[in-house]
């Protein structure tokens, strides 16, 4: 070993000797590569609020989709002499049957003005609300991302015209469009439902389908704006230039490169769209423009409950609180997703 | 500035024209009409009504006549409310909605801005968490839930407040509160995130370093910069709120413009629909221009193009 002059800048050559086998081994860290999804999922799982919201959403889904199929009462079934029962009570007729040794399931939330079990109606109502939220958001995702990416990618005059259309749809009061569209859709939909191959419309309900269409026609504009702004920045990336140089067509670039790269934003925006669709549906049902009687939705249940507010507050409170809970958990879950998928967007 | 405003006004007129045109044709192509629902009406009477309001002519001519009327400031008569001019209906209904809506927006700003700032300044502490939870609830609860629960709690159960009408100041409490709930929560969230952004900036550190008191830093530097996103949101929101919420007006039985608008749509009162839509669209556009000008005042660095 060389003697080192403490004042010189001379380097210690020993530091530059080749590493021994053990040293090499200790330096190599074998860590599995973390993909985009795994990374996001790990961050999501750490977020307690988001996980609790997810559990709440799952529980509500079980209540809405699974339990009604083996619940002892049906949502449109009217029980004789059981009008406006308080929660956990029975009608005189049912009490007689219980006295005779029969076992009856209690009316957990009582019954409504037509003697229908309220708990099952609330469950069916949340089924409709969830369906509207999920399906409408899926349609909005589809239209909005296609429209926004085309406008953003092609730019120029195309972008200008497409975005002016979006501005105009934004300016027309949405309640006007909703009412007019749902009125004008009713007849053609009913006619279509009678044709062979379209019978499924009848089973789903003409009203419900027209709500989907109305939402799809109206609310994609927000999604389109967000996607467009993402595409505007993404299309400047080198990989897009490279793809174009390699001869990829516009359709392929949008599908394979641009949309896949804003998948995080798409997921987050869609998740946050679900509660706002549920919100709007409940508002429409509250106005009496939602799903058809006797099918309940949480909004129409709350609207009906308003009439008996003085004597039967639980008829209003049950659906009102449930809908708030659903919207709240979707919002919190969406916030968690945003933090997980796109930490930069965090507000 | 003047050039900018002129450009915006021309664009605004164009947008309003397009909105009016779309509404006109959409409305007339929807099945049903203003006089269809009246049961006891004979074919002759219906024809006479159609003739009186010019609805027997082809749609193109009707459109031309209507647009011509608007250019001369004539919004024509209501089809359903006999003898009422559409502009008179708006004039009598709008102040009611505007009073409630204006109060609600003021309340939302007065509560939302301080709450959001407090949350940002106490980031991560219990005050912040509490405010976030409240604000998220405010966004999640639909207005009819707030209205009805508030009505049940304070009107029916406790009996402190009247539940319908608008005759005394106490009548305003519930509707104003219900209307302001969502914007309040939204402003709180916006204010919190923009405040967090601002207090991390270099100029805030400089301001503190040169010896400015924390209060002065907050009011002179932070607040002014952090409030911009709130201004953007409040403009259009104010337009929507002062034109009335149908839900709130229906639940509290308030004779406002929002309720009038929805009932005119279900009744196919074409002229009222058109008048209100044009009124609402113009308000929104005016608010957006105002927002841009207020922007310029708050932040002189911004260039209006």
Residue of B nearest to A188 (CA): B31
Report the predicted TM-score, pTM, of the whole model to 2 decimal places: 0.76
All domains of chain A, ordered by start, with CATH? 37-77+116-345 (1.10.3720.10)
**Across A115-124, B42-51, B296-305, which has the greatest mean pLDDT?**
A115-124
Q: Kindly list the residues from chain B whose CB atom is less than 8 angstroms away from the CB atom of residue A332.
A: 136
Residue A71 CA to its chain's centroid (Å): 26
Beta-carbon-side half-sphere exposure of residue B202 (alpha carbons within 13 Å)? 0
DSSP category for residue A34: P
Q: Contact A134/A334 with Cβ under 8 angstroms?
A: no
Section B130-153 average pLDDT = 82
Give the model confidence (pLDDT) of A5-32 as tens digits.
Answer: 677 777 777 778 887 888 777 777 777 7
Cα separations in angstroms, B162 against A221, A312, A317, B170, B251:
40, 19, 20, 7, 12
Q: Which of residues 182-241 of A touch B (CB under 8 A)?
A: 183-184, 186-187
Residue B109: predicted pLDDT: 93
Give the model confidence (pLDDT) of A35-82 as tens digits.
Answer: 778 888 888 888 888 899 999 999 999 988 888 888 777 777 777 766
Residue B139: predicted pLDDT: 82
Give the model confidence (pLDDT) of A238-289 as tens digits.
Answer: 888 899 899 888 888 888 888 888 887 888 888 888 888 888 887 777 777 7
Residue B107: predicted pLDDT: 94
Residue A202: predicted pLDDT: 67
DSSP letter string over A263-322?
HHHHHHHHHHHHHHHHHHHHHHHHHT-SSPTTS--HHHHHHHHHHTTTT-HHHHHHHHHH
Other residues' Cβ atoms within 10 Å of the Cβ of residue A276: 21
Which of A172, A323, A347 is closest, CB to CB, to B142? A323
Q: Is the pLDDT of residue A318 over 60?
A: yes
Is the Cβ pair A177, B26 closer than 8 Å?
yes
Is the pLDDT higher at A99 or at A139? A139
Is the Cβ pair B156, A310 closer than 8 Å?
yes
Residue A160: predicted pLDDT: 84
Q: Chain A: nearest CA to B234, how far in angstroms? A: 16
- How is chain B split into domains, by residue range? 89-264
**Across A79-93, B72-86, B151-165, B251-265, which has the greatest mean pLDDT?**
B251-265
Is B89-264 a CATH 1.10.3720.10 domain?
yes
Residue owning tokens 């221009």:
B289
If 0-12 CB within 10 Å is exposed, 13-18 middle and 19+ buried, where does residue B182 land?
buried
Asked if A162 reaches chain B (Cβ–Cβ under 8 Å), the answer is no
Residue B235: predicted pLDDT: 81
Q: Give, to the nearest 10 degrees, the angle between helix B228-242 and helix B270-298.
A: 160
Q: pLDDT tier at B37 (50, 70, 90 boundaries)?
A: low
Is the Cβ pair B144, A287 closer than 8 Å?
no
Give the model confidence (pLDDT) of B183-235 as tens digits.
Answer: 999 899 888 888 888 888 888 888 888 888 888 888 888 888 888 888 888 88
């Amino acid at each position: 070993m060389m003697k080192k002059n403490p004042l010189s800048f001379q380097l210690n050559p020993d530091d530059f000797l080749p590493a021994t086998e053990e040293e090499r081994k200790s330096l190599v860290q074998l860590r599995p590569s973390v993909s985009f999804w795994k990374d996001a999922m790990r961050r999501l799982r750490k977020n307690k609020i988001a996980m609790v919201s997810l559990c709440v959403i799952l529980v509500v889904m079980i209540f809405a989709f699974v339990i009604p199929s083996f619940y002892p009462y049906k949502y449109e079934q009217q029980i004789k002499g059981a009008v406006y029962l308080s929660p956990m009570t029975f009608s005189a007729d049912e009490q007689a049957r219980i006295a005779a040794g029969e076992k009856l399931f209690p009316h957990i939330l009582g019954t409504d003005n037509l003697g229908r079990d309220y708990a099952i109606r609330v469950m069916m109502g949340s089924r409709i609300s969830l369906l509207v939220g999920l399906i409408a958001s899926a349609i909005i995702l589809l239209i909005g991302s296609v429209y926004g990416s085309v406008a953003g990618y092609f730019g120029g005059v195309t972008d200008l015209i497409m975005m002016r259309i979006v501005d105009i749809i934004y300016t027309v009061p949405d309640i006007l469009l909703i009412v007019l569209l749902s009125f004008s859709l009713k007849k053609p939909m009913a006619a279509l439902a009678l044709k062979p191959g379209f019978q499924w419309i009848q089973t789903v309900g003409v009203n419900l389908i027209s709500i989907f269409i109305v939402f799809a026609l109206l609310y994609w504009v927000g999604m389109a704006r967000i996607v467009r702004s993402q595409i505007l920045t993404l299309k400047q990336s080198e990989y897009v230039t490279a793809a174009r140089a390699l001869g990829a067509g516009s359709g392929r670039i949008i599908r394979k490169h641009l949309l896949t790269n804003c998948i995080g934003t798409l997921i987050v925006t869609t998740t946050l769209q679900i509660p706002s669709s549920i919100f709007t549906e409940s508002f429409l049902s509250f106005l009496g423009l939602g799903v058809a009687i006797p099918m309940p939705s949480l909004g129409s249940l709350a609207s009906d409950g308003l009439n008996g507010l003085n004597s039967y507050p639980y008829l209003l409170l049950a659906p009102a609180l449930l809908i708030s809970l659903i919207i709240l958990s979707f919002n919190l879950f969406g916030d968690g997703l945003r933090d997980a998928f796109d930490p930069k967007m965090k507000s | 500035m003047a050039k900018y405003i002129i450009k915006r006004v021309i664009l605004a007129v164009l947008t309003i024209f397009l909105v009016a045109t779309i509404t006109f044709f959409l409305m007339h192509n929807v099945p049903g009409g203003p006089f269809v629902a009246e049961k006891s009406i004979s074919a002759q009477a219906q024809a006479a009504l159609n003739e009186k309001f010019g609805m027997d002519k082809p749609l193109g001519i009707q459109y031309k006549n209507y647009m011509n009327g608007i250019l001369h400031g004539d919004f024509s008569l209501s089809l359903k409310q006999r003898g009422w001019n559409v502009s008179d209906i708006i004039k009598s209904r709008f102040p009611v909605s505007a009073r409630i809506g204006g109060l609600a927006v003021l309340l939302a700003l007065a509560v939302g801005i301080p709450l959001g700032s407090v949350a940002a300044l106490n980031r991560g502490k219990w005050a912040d968490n509490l405010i976030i939870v409240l604000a998220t609830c405010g966004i999640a609860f639909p207005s009819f839930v707030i209205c009805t629960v508030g009505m049940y709690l304070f009107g029916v159960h406790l009996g402190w407040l009247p539940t319908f009408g608008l005759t005394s100041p106490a009548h305003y409490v519930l509707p104003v509160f219900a209307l302001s709930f969502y914007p309040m929560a939204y402003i709180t969230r916006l204010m919190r995130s923009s405040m967090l952004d601002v207090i991390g900036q270099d100029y805030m550190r400089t301001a503190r370093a040169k010896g400015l008191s924390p209060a002065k830093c907050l009011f002179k530097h932070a607040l002014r910069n952090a409030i911009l996103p709130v201004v953007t949101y409040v403009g259009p929101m104010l337009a929507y709120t002062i034109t009335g919420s149908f839900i709130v007006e229906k639940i509290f039985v308030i004779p406002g413009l929002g309720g009038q608008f929805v009932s005119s749509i279900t009744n196919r009162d074409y002229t009222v629909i058109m008048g209100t839509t044009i009124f609402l669209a113009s308000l929104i556009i005016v608010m957006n221009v105002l927002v841009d000008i207020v922007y310029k005042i708050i932040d002189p660095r911004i260039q209006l193009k």
